[in-house]
Amino acid sequence: MSNTVVIRILDKEYQVSCPPEEQHALIKSSQELDRRMRDIRRAGHVIGLERIAVMAALNLTYDLLRAESRASSGETLADEVTRLDAKLDGALDKFQVPGQ
């Protein structure tokens, strides 16, 4: 059984049929999409609702594929933090004042 959920994206309302157990995820997803579309619109480089939606979709798809790639390669968040920490240490070492 599905319920109709009203979501709002860029000040437009959409009615979406959704199972009750997935409503929270749908609402969170629509909020994230709205945030990303507003960010793209605010940047001013993309004009038109359709183009903003396509750019948001591309960004979300890129993020999803990158996350899937990391998951399949076995890289965890901890691995990424360790890698970034080592990179920062290397960059900071270049700015060390001799004798300190």
Residue 92 is predicted with a pLDDT of 73
What pLDDT is recorded for position 96?
60
Torsion over CA of 51, 31, 84 and 43, rounded to 10 degrees?
40
Query: What is the pLDDT confidence band of residue 45, given thresholds at 50, 70 and 90?
Result: confident
Q: The whole model's pTM is what?
A: 0.66
Contact call for residues 20 and 30 (beta carbons, < 8 A): no
Does residue 23 surpass a pLDDT of 80? yes
For domain 3-93, the CATH class is alpha beta
Which long-range CB contacts under 8 A does 38-41 form with residues at least 24 apart? 38/10, 41/10
Q: How far apart are CA 72 and CA 48, in angstroms?
A: 36
- Summarize pLDDT for 61-82 with one digit per residue, the tens: 999 998 888 777 776 777 778 8
Domain segments of the chain as ranges: 3-93
- Looking at residue 31, its amino acid is Q
